Copies of this chain bind each other. A is one copy, B any other.
Amino acid sequence: MTKIKLNCPVPLHYERIVMAHGGGGRLMQQLLDDVVQPIFNNPILAQKNDSAVLSINSPNIAFTTDSYVVKPLFFPGGDIGKLAVCGTLNDLAMSGAKPLYLTCSLILEEGFAIQDLRRLLMSMQETASAAGVSIVTGDTKVVEHGKADGLYINTAGVGILETKQTIHAQAIRPDDVIIINSDLGRHGLAVMLERDGFDFQHNIQSDCADVSSLVNDLVQANIKIHCLRDLTRGGLASTLIELATSAQVHMEIRQADLPIHDDVQSLCEILGFDPLYIANEGCFALIMPADNAEQALKIMRNHPLGKQANRIGTVMQTTERGMLTLKTEFGMSRVLDLLSGEQLPRIC
C-alpha cells in the first residue's frame, strides 16, 4: 500500500519577486530567511539588527560605496554580483586598506526571477568569501515592474589601513613611474558584446577581479606607494587625467608599453572605440617612486592578477599641469583629453 503524503504538494513559494517582498512583512522575512541569509550565512548578519556591530582593531579605517547597474546582469567573466563585490573591495584596496566587511543593498524590480537573484547572491558570497570578507548587513527594496532594470546592487565596505603611508593623488611627484597590473579594455568590451545586436566571434572575458590581495602584497612588502587607482569608468585615460589634474602634474604614457589583448585591439578598431577609455574591473594604476619600481613589478608578477604588470608611463618634470600625453609608437606625443562620458554606458 502506498503511503499517502499529507503535506501540501504545491509549495507556497514565489518564483518571481512581488512588491510584498520589499514590504517589511511576511514575504520579505521569507525572502531574507530562505534566500539571502543562507547564502551570506554569517553570525553578524544572522542577528538581524538594523546595524552590524563590528570590532575593529585599528584607528584608521577606509569606507566606500558603489551602486552597480551593469547591463546585462550576466556577462563573460562575471555578473553584477561578482562586480558589486570586486568593485567595492578594489575601492578599499586603492587607499591601501585591507577589506573586512561589506553591506549588500538590493533594489529589485517586480517580476525579477528569484532563481537569478539566488545565483547573483551566490556569486557575491563566493567573491567575498575568497577575499576573507563577510557581508554583514543589507537592505531589500522592491519597485514596480518597469521602474528598475532587473536589479541594482549597492555595496558599501569598510577596511583597515595597515600601512602608515598616505596613498592618494596629492602624493604623486615628478619622476614617479606609472605601473599597471594587467591588460586594458576587456571589461567594457565584454559587457557591450553581450548586449543584443552584437554577433561577433570573440574570446574576450571581463577582467572583473578583486585586486585587494595583490595590493596587500605590495603593502606588506613596504613598497613605497604614492597613489593607487582602479581603471574603471572612463578607463586608463580618464583616470590618469583625473589624477594629473588633482596632483597638478603632467603624466606621459607610452603606447608601446600598454598591454592590450589582440582581440580587444581588433574589435576596438572595427567598432571605433579607443581601449584607453574603456572600463576595466581588475586593472589598476600604481604610481610610485622609480627606485622601488623593479621590486614592485617583481611582487606584482608573482601574483595571478599581476602577471602582465608593466611600467607604462612617467610623471614628467615639465611645467605642464593637469595633462596626460600619449607617446605613440612612432615617437609622436599627443594630448589625451576627457571624453564627455563613457563610450559605453552602464558597464558597471
In this complex, what residue of B is CB-closest to A246?
B48
A51 touches B64 (CB 8 A): yes
* Chain A binding surface, main DSSP class: mixed
Interface flag for A26 (CB, 8 Å): yes
B341 touches A28 (CB 8 A): yes
Question: Which one, B94, B142, B154, B338, contacts A26 given CB within 8 A?
Answer: B338
Interface flag for A138 (CB, 8 Å): yes
Residues of chain B with a CB closer than 8 A to A52's CB: 62-64
Residues of chain B with a CB closer than 8 A to A130's CB: none
B63 touches A24 (CB 8 A): no
Min CB–CB distance A333 → chain B (angstroms): 22
Question: Which one, B27, B154, B340, contacts A27 given CB within 8 A?
Answer: B340
In this complex, what residue of B is CB-closest to A18?
B341
Interface flag for A254 (CB, 8 Å): no
Interface flag for A288 (CB, 8 Å): no
Interface flag for A137 (CB, 8 Å): yes
Q: Given A65-B103, A69-B141, A107-B152, verify A60-B55 contact (CB < 8 Å).
A: yes
**Chain A 173-197: CB-based contact to B (< 8 A → 1; otherwise 0):** 0000000000000000000000000
Q: How many angstroms from the CA of A37 to the CA of B96 in the assembled complex? A: 24
A24 touches B234 (CB 8 A): yes
**Chain A 5-30: CB-based contact to B (< 8 A → 1; otherwise 0):** 00000000000001111111111110
In this complex, what residue of B is CB-closest to A346?
B143
For this complex, 28 residue pairs linking A to B, each with C-beta atoms less than 8 Å apart, are A19-B341, A20-B340, A20-B342, A23-B234, A23-B340, A24-B341, A24-B342, A25-B340, A25-B341, A28-B341, A47-B169, A49-B95, A50-B90, A50-B229, A50-B230, A51-B159, A53-B63, A55-B59, A55-B60, A64-B137, A65-B103, A67-B106, A68-B141, A103-B156, A147-B148, A147-B149, A152-B152, A156-B156
Chain A positions near chain B (C-beta within 8 angstroms): 18-29, 47-57, 59-69, 90-92, 94-95, 97, 101, 103-107, 136-139, 141-144, 146-149, 152, 154, 156-159, 161, 166, 168-170, 229-230, 232-235, 238, 242, 246, 277, 279, 338-342, 345-346, 348
